[in-house]
Structures are given as C-alpha cells and as structure tokens.
Amino acid sequence: MTQSFRLESGGLINRDKKISFKFNGKNYFGYEGDTLASALIANGVHLIGRSFKYHRPRGFFGAGVDEPYAIVQLYRNGETEPNIKATEQELFEGLEAKSVNCWPSVNFDVGAINNFLKIFLPAGFYYKTFMWPKSFWYKIYEPFIRKAAGLGTASIKHDKERYEHKYEYCDLLITGSGPSGLASAYSSAKNGAKVILAEDKSRFGGTLLTSDVNIGNQSGKEWADSIISELKEMPNVTVKNRSQVFGYYDHNMLVMSERISDHLPKTKKYHPKQRLWYIRAKEVLISSGSIERPIVFGNNDTPGVMLSSAAKEYMKVYGVLVGKKPLVFTNNDSGYETAIEFKKNGVDPIILDTRKEPQSEIIEDAKNMNINIKNSYVVVAAQGYKKVKSADIAKISDDKEELGSVQNIKCDCICVSGFWTPTIHLASQSGNKTKFNEEIDAFVPGVSKQNEKTLGAANGIYTLEETLKDSFEKGNQISKEITNNDNKVSFPNVVEKKSTVHDKFWCVPLPKGKNYKRFLDFQNDVAVSDIEIALKEGYRSIEHVKRYTTLGMATDQGKTSNLNGLQLVSKIENKVVPAVGHTTFRPPYSPVSIGAIVGREVGKHSKPTRKSPMHSWHEKNNAVFVDAGVWLRPRYYKRGDENLFEASKREAKNVRTNVGVCDVTTLGKIDIKGPDAAELLNRVYTNAWLKLPVGKARYGVMLREDGIVMDDGTTTRISENHYHMTTTTAQAANVLSHLEYYLQLVWPELNVNVVSTTEQWAGAAIAGPKSREVLKKLFPNSDVTNEGLPFMGYMEADLFGVKAKIFRISFSGELAYEVNVESDYGYFMWEKIIEAGEQFGIQPYGTEALSTLRIEMGHVAGSELDGRTIPYDNSLEGLLSKKKDFIGKRSLSRKAFAAEDRQKIVGVVPLDKKTSIPEGSHLVKDSNAPLPNPKLGYISASCWSVEHDNPFSLAILKDGKNMIGEKLFVMSPLKNKVIPVEIVSSHYVDPKGERVRS
C-alpha cells in the first residue's frame, strides 16, 4: 500500500526505517518518527472514530495533546489500552489500533442514528429523559447509556507492565521545551541552578520545529538542537522528553508522567513502562505555549477539518499532507504560514480571511507566491459525511452579522485558525488568579500564589524575539537569587516575520434556513445550540453551564473549546468574557494511566506484609494464613481434608482439654520507662495503677476523650520504673501516638519515655489445663507453680540459655501463659514449646480457634471495642475507678452514656442449638413486624462453642442487662435468615473465672 499523502521529502521522520502497523484490521506502513496520526494521514485515512453523543464520524483535529477526538483502542505486546490519542501515540513496529465508540464498525455505525435524532438529544438530555420512571434506571437507562457512551474498553487482565514513582527536588522546573523553555532553561542552567526541563513530545523545540525563523544564524530547529545538546551535557540539568507535567499541587509540588516505553513495541527488560515524578521545585517556569483556537462554523467536526497549526506540523515534522485541495480559514496571520507551507510543497491552497484588508510581511509573502486569498470570507459549513468534500463559503459583512450568497467550492480539508489560546492550565492549578487579555482575546496568568512564572506564548507573548528576551532574563534572574551566580548569556539575533492584528471573529452565523451543528466542544459533542438551550433554561454560572452541557469536561479539559464557549455565553448574556469568567482547570492536564498513579504499590506490594519470626514454621505445618491488619497470621493449621470449621474446632477443643500454643507476636508492645510511669498509666487507663507491685500484670482499658473504649490489654510492672504494655494488634500504632500526645503536649511534666517494642519480642501463648506441665519442662529451673507464678504474675526465666519473659495472662480463659523472647529466638522458642508439649498433646492454634475461645469466654475484642461502645456496653464498668480521674471519664456522665436501658454485651444461643448465627445480624423482638422492624441490637461475634458443642454469639443488645432469658429473633436479610434465639450471659464458659486461677 502506498502512502499517497506522504511528501517526497522533508519532515523529521526517518525514511530509511519503514514501520508496519494495523488500524481496524488493515495493514499500513509509516516511518520511524511518525505518530499513529501522521502515519494514518499519510495513508489517506481520516475516519478514526465516532463522536461521543451523536456518533458522528470524526477524524483528526490536532497534532498532539490538543487533540479532542482521535482516540483509539491500542494493542501492544498482548495488552490493550483504551483512550489513546492517535496524535500522541508514536508508531512502533506491529502497533495495532482500533476505533472506539462505534458498532459494528467505524464506517457503518448503528449509533449514528443519534445524529438524525439530534433534535431529541439537546443539552441536559440525560438529565431530562432518564429521570423517570425510577424503576427504569437500572434495567433500561443505565445499560443503554453505558453502551452508547463508551470510549474504549479497559482491559480486565492483570497489567504485567511495571510503573515507577520517583521523587525529585530542583531549583527550577521548566514545563515545555519551546523557545521560552529552552531560553529560560539555558540561562538558569548557566547560573548553576538545578534545572529539570520537561517536554511532552518526543522531540524538543516546540514551535521552533515548525516555524520559519532564524536565531543566531541558525534555523529554529538547529538552534533548539544545539541548546538541548548543551543542556544535556550539563550535570545540573535534567532534560526529559515524552514527559508531561500534568498537575500543580500545593507547596510547589508538581507531578509529571514520563512515558518511557509506550513508543516501543515491547518494554525493555528492567525498564518500567512509565514513571511518575513527584517534583518539588523551588521555582516553576511554565513554558507550555499556546493552542490554536478553532473558528466555529457548520459541520466543523467533519473529518478533514483541523487546526491550521496541526496541518503545518504534519507537513513540517512528518512530511505529510493533510489534503491536496486545502482551504485555509483564518482570522489571523497564522493561517498564511500554513498556506505558504502547502504552496512550497506544490499544493495550491485557498485562504479565506475574515479580515477585510490585512497587511503584513507574511501576507505579502503569500501574495507574492500567488496564493488565492479571499478577504472578508468565511466557511459557512463543511460538506461531506465521512470526509470533507467541499465547503460552503460566503462573503461576510463588515459587522460580521450578514452573510452574502453562499457558494460551494471543492476542497478535501479545511485548516482553521482562530488565533491562539495560552495554555494556562498549570498556572491556574497553582492558584494563580488569571486575567483577561483583551489584545489576544484570552486569559493569561495574573497574580501568582505559588512560586511560578509563566513565559512566552503561555503568557500571551506571541513574538519570538520578545519571548526569547523575556525568557532568558527570567531564567537568569530567578536562578541568580537561588545560586548567587550571574553568568549573563548573550542574546542571539532573531529574524522572524512580523504579523498584524487578528480579527476577534470566532463564530460564523447560520445562513437563513440552515440548521448546521456548530461544535464548540468536539470531545463532548457540545454545539452552539446546546449552550443556547442551557442559557434559555436559566443556567447562568459558567460552572453550571459546564456541568449541564458537559462543555470543557473530561480528558480534553477544554483545550480547544474553552474560550469559544465563553465567547458564546458572554455574547448571549451581553457581558464581556472576563465577567463570565472561566471554569476551574483541574489536574490532570492530560490523561494519566492508572498504572502510573499506582506505581509499584500493586498486589503484595500494595501494603507491607509483616510476618512473625515463627512464620516459616507455620508455613511448614500447613498453616492457612489470614490478613490481620498488615500482619499475616495463621488462621488454622490444616490437617488432612479439614476445613476451617473442623480445624478451628479441633484446635479450640484441644486448648480446653489439653494444651495449645498460639503465635501472639503481633500484639502491640510498648516499653514504658521513667519515675512517672505509674502516674501515666493511672491517667490513661480507667482503673487504678499506682499500687501495682513489681512482677505483676494488670488488665486495663483505655478510653478516648469522648468516653468510647479505645483499646485494652495488659501492662506488667517489670521493675520499679519499667512497664511493659501490650495493646491489641490493630490499635498498636494509635495507642503509641495517644501516649505520645499526652506526654508531649498535655503533661510534659511527667518524666516518662515510651517506645514501641512490637518487633523486638516474639510471643507465644501456651493455653490449656496442661500448660503448666509444658512450662515446667521448658523452665525446669524456675518455680512455675501456682504459688511461684500466680495468675497475673510475671517472671523472667531461662529458656535453654535464652532470656525469656513469662506472663501468666489468659485470653482463652484457660490456665495460660505468654512467653516472650527476643525476636531472633522466636523460632527456637516455638520449636522448644512444641517439643516440650508433645507428650501433653500440644497443638498450635490459629486466630479462628483463638476467637472461638475468647467469644465463648465472653472476652471482648475488636468486634465489640469497635469505636462505638463505652465500658458499660462491654461489661467493663467494674474497671472504672471512682477515686481518680482518667482520660474520657468526664464523658461517661453524659446523659446517653448513663441511660438506664443502655446497650450491653450478652450471649446469644439459637433455640435449635444448631443454626449458626451470621455476624452483623440484627436482633428483633418480632420477626414478622412491618418494616422498619425496630432493631434491638446486633451480633458482634459468632463461634461454635466447643465447650457446649452448639453455636454461640456475642451481641450488643439494648437494655441487655435485663434481657437475659428473653427469646428474640436474629435476622440477617443478607443471608436471608431468621433464627429464634435465647439471650444468655456473655460468659458462656467458666463464668466464675476459676480456670485461669487454677
């Protein structure tokens, strides 16, 4: 297949390297250095997709980030990605792309019926039509809208590519490598400043690549190349291409996405696909240039209508003609540059200039080249469905209100130039108060809020000489203040064509009797008529108009549509544009892949994984693990074909009858030292702590200031001024911060230090009636009898040469001990415990059995201490000291907390003693009561009681104190269950607590 629109020579592509690719199943080829867009245009392909709302045929409008609608589904190395701009995607060998938003094909699209129904699809159509009846929403409206409005398909496969994050600091971040970016980077780099220069495209130079200028006796491109190669050599400069700075956040932090591998057929080994840079810059120079504005006319979305700057870029950078019978429609001199370029390449363009008698150097050049120029002429409408075939043109009156007679002329493309809009997105994101510049009819940055300055065209400066001068100077000044160097750069001689003023004309009136769609926002299919309707319906604020019509929304962020939309609103409202104001520009400036945002934090790296020192033992012994916060804990140890239920029952039963061992390393541990340690505990715990003797542990409950239980655990007095506090696994970090808060801010006079020692100690709980026998074997030289180590006692002992701490505390309700050794000896300790316990039938038990044991014992845990309950609710009121004040005490006297029928923890047993009760179910009096059935309480935790061999649950129940013996119903609408139950005491096993003291 020949590239019929490729010029014989010219462009910056590598004609020695042919690249083959596929579009909509058809094979084509282009050259190295092409974008998908330039290669398709070279092959004469202009029909790319269908529009968002009306499914109208769409082609290319721009040549880069400004492209609103040439979006494709990309296939690369077995992966697919939606919403890729064909104008940004560089060509690589084997690239495959498909049109989106069309079915069954781009040439014949069923949805295009919408185009003929367009009178029924006005502004706010979705809001108006799909609101009622309500029952239609899920089954009919939503699926229809989703199918009709889709832009590509996200892959549901795991993304095999790697994305990285990088944090960087610099003196100056410069966003864009056009003339202003290059000049400011150069002069600031010469002053020794640490500079990052970011360019969105693959080639550096911006407009210098396409404009006919001369800098220091070099062409624009040559000058750009020489500056870039010099910058690349400088150690204080980082130069990045394919890197889009898309967001400007607080305190001068900017985020940039670098596309490292997207232009390659396959990501290289050890390379990421993309890298996201978090850049903290002392100063930011915004050199993002400007984007050409369209002029609005009938059917201005027809494939073949495009920005005149894009047409020029396709010729000069890619050696591609966008058409062979071009029409250039302009209100300023830029259109002439494009026309001249056509002419130079042997194509005869026609210029339609809305101005009456403009005069300038460029216009003179065009005349001298015998280019056909029609002054005071406009394009009324493009004709042709899938590609421009001709244009209806007409003379326009001086007041721009009246059209002359309409003639039709043949053409195959219409290149539009409505003057230039500074790209102020980053400045606006930084908090800059933008201002309206009458001269260029656009907003420019105003007062900076952060350390940023905008240069060149982005600041509304449209001549090269002024841009370079200003940018050299700003770069020098700003860097001088940072580095104290002042190395002046000599200013090069600049030759450029002078242009004359543009015409503020932006929208062609409709000829009588015609009702052409005139699009403002090409990506979202917003036409002039939509804005008119929105205003007629009373929408006034530009922010409301935007949301109602979708003008300037989505990935395009109004790059080409913003100002024309504002012009229209201000015209209808009879206001000036600055009085209408512009909508907020939001990051990202251009779409960023989710992969880049997430970076390496995927799969198992999405959070840290903490493992106990005994983890490998658990693995070897068939442990099935469960996530406990960031910890991995054995849930149960599988034997044979056992399931979770069977295994946990066996393990729990074994604790009640013999002895079990559980890894409790994950418990939070805080070391507390200092003469005022007891005083601290006395203030943060609800019970009394001043008289705890050395060598004793005590259970304590901590409240928040609002009286809600924050955490519980035991704290042991190791020596006079030394305590060892344990917290729940989940609250470990919060409790430490809580203690630090009071010590540092509220009671700085207390002489206490706290530090986390969670990782320093490995812990094993040995529980069961035979646990003392195991202990005797482990510590033959220590007195572990009931007298030597009583309940809540503590001792230090020797575990075969390893220093161990033994706490006689119990979560299971059985006679139990917790042994701690330094983490490195954890595995050793564990093996010794298993070995010593063998003859007593020891079995390791996991968190499921642990829960069973504590639930039937009525011990509260995270599911009861859930941030909503006070001590009374959990039957912990016995731990509230009446004699002293403590954190949260005052709140407990609040009315609701002291209410007579306050909720309280109770036990729940199903009447049939068989049916398991789902956690989270509700307790009600009457299962047949009409909805909403009054809820009396909820099930906080459920287990199969191994002691009683029937299901047992804990519940938080209204007036629970007086409900023991009552018959209620448990209802779980989620599991569709109604279970008659009896309320019992929460202490279902050993209510007197004799076992722990035995």
Partner 1 sequence: MLHIKCPHCGIRSQNEFSYGGDATIKRPELGKEISDQDWDNFVYNRKSLRGKHWELWQHLSGCRQWIKVQRDTATHEIFKTLKANEEIS
Residues within the interface to partner 1 (CB under 8 A): 249-253, 278, 280, 431, 449, 683, 705-706, 737, 740-741, 744-746, 748, 884-886, 890-891, 894
Of the two residues 579 and 746, which places its CB atom closer to partner 1 in the complex? 746
The whole-angstrom separation of Cα 18 and Cα 31 is 5
Q: Which residues contact 664 (CB under 8 A, 6 or more apart)?
A: 763, 764, 765, 818
The least CB distance from residue 585 to partner 1, in Å, is 17
Of the two residues 637 and 886, which places its CB atom closer to partner 1 in the complex? 886
Of the two residues 335 and 888, which places its CB atom closer to partner 1 in the complex? 888
Of the two residues 231 and 725, which places its CB atom closer to partner 1 in the complex? 725
Count CA atoms closer than 13 A to 69's CA, side-chain side. Answer: 35
The least CB distance from residue 240 to partner 1, in Å, is 21
The least CB distance from residue 199 to partner 1, in Å, is 24
CB 257 within 8 A of CB 425: no
Query: Two tokens at 747?
Result: 């009671």
Of the two residues 638 and 683, which places its CB atom closer to partner 1 in the complex? 683
The whole-angstrom separation of Cα 556 and Cα 314 is 21
Of the two residues 252 and 863, which places its CB atom closer to partner 1 in the complex? 252
Q: Shortest CA distance to 303 belongs to which of 220, 201, 386, 191?
A: 386
Place of tokens 């991995």: 632
Of the two residues 140 and 733, which places its CB atom closer to partner 1 in the complex? 733
The least CB distance from residue 699 to partner 1, in Å, is 22
The least CB distance from residue 894 to partner 1, in Å, is 8
Strand (E) positions, 858-989? 904-910, 922-924, 937-945, 950-957, 967-972, 977-984
Query: Two tokens at 241?
Result: 């291409």
The least CB distance from residue 880 to partner 1, in Å, is 15
The whole-angstrom separation of Cα 779 and Cα 877 is 37
Which DSSP string do the residues of 39-83 spell out, in sequence order? HHHHTT----EE-TTT--EE----SSTT-SS-EEEEEETTEEEEE
Read off φ and ψ for residue 539, nearest 5 degrees.
-75, 130
Place of tokens 């572990």: 784
Q: Shortest CA distance to 990 belongs to which of 955, 956, 949, 948?
A: 948
Q: How far is CA 260 from the centre of its chain?
A: 20
Of the two residues 166 and 449, which places its CB atom closer to partner 1 in the complex? 449
Amino acid at 99: S
Directed axis angle between helix 220-233 and helix 179-190, to 10°? 30
The whole-angstrom separation of Cα 403 and Cα 400 is 8
The least CB distance from residue 248 to partner 1, in Å, is 12
Of the two residues 757 and 972, which places its CB atom closer to partner 1 in the complex? 757
The least CB distance from residue 884 to partner 1, in Å, is 7
Phi-psi region of 525 (alpha: psi -120 to 50; beta: other; left: phi over 0): left
Of the two residues 741 and 800, which places its CB atom closer to partner 1 in the complex? 741
The least CB distance from residue 179 to partner 1, in Å, is 32
CB 820 within 8 A of CB 952: no
Q: Shortest CA distance to 301 belongs to which of 55, 540, 137?
A: 55
The whole-angstrom separation of Cα 71 and Cα 83 is 5
The least CB distance from residue 705 to partner 1, in Å, is 5
Give the 3-state secondary structure of residue 256. Answer: strand
The least CB distance from residue 700 to partner 1, in Å, is 17
Which DSSP string do the residues of 898-930 spell out, in sequence order? G-TT--EEEEEEETTS-PPPPTTPEEES-TTSP
Q: Which residues contact 217 (CB under 8 A, 6 or more apart)?
A: 493
Of the two residues 385 and 747, which places its CB atom closer to partner 1 in the complex? 747
The whole-angstrom separation of Cα 464 and Cα 478 is 21
Paired with 327 in beta bridges are: 350, 414
Of the two residues 24 and 734, which places its CB atom closer to partner 1 in the complex? 734
The least CB distance from residue 748 to partner 1, in Å, is 6
Of the two residues 24 and 252, which places its CB atom closer to partner 1 in the complex? 252
The least CB distance from residue 253 to partner 1, in Å, is 5
The least CB distance from residue 762 to partner 1, in Å, is 24
Of the two residues 575 and 890, which places its CB atom closer to partner 1 in the complex? 890
CB 769 within 8 A of CB 815: yes
Cα angle at 8 between 7 and 14, to 5 degrees? 85
Which DSSP string do the residues of 748-766 spell out, in sequence order? TTS--EEEE-GGGEEEEEE
The least CB distance from residue 251 to partner 1, in Å, is 4
Of the two residues 160 and 894, which places its CB atom closer to partner 1 in the complex? 894
Query: Two tokens at 187?
Result: 């002069």
The least CB distance from residue 432 to partner 1, in Å, is 12
Of the two residues 710 and 909, which places its CB atom closer to partner 1 in the complex? 710
CB atoms within 10 A of CB 152: 18
The whole-angstrom separation of Cα 749 and Cα 926 is 57
